[in-house]
Structure 1
Amino acid sequence: MKARPKLIRPTPEEDAAITTAALSDPDNPPLTDEDWARMRPAREVMPPSFFEPVGSSPPRRFFMAEIEFDVADHFTREFGEDWQRRLNEALREVITRKQAAE
């Protein structure tokens, strides 16, 4: 397990300067005790659909893969920004054909 970085607390002077700056910001005033008391968990105030996965695409896992330049060049030239989706489709088609042949 990684060690947590040591917390460096501001000095009283730094804390006062930070608080003064926050109080002078009309667009983002600090929360008052009353504000904190009115807060509720998001699950109580947001509709259940807010917590559902976005879109119907399958879950993804990020990993690094080396793709030879000519393959990457073909897909980026042919499909532009959509190249990763099209590469996934091509790989999925290879899997389907292999499974059908078994």
Structure 2
Amino acid sequence: MSQQKMGTHYVREISQTFREIAEKTSFPDVKSKLLALADEMEPIAGKLYFKTQKGTEEMVEMAGELGDFVDQLNGASDAEAAQSICAPFLAKIEKSVKAAKTMKVRMT
């Protein structure tokens, strides 16, 4: 049980960071994308953990990449640059979110 809490903790941490970035960014498209993804991730945090059943490796990896992502996004000079920085990181998370939303979790 404690392992699941750790996995969901990473998901919630990523969501919270997305909200903080969205508050600070001046690019409306990036802001709406981050807020939408944060809103989508939090309710399915448990399922996202089960999707990444390799322990919490995938969530740990994403949380680790988050610092670089934030630094790059803060250094973006225009909306196009910000979107190109967001695209690969958000695509990776969206892939996990989509898989988690469509999967069935069986507790045995």
Same topology, TM > 0.5: no
TM-score by length of 2: 0.22
Normalized per residue, the structure richer in helix is: 2
Larger Rg over CA atoms: 1
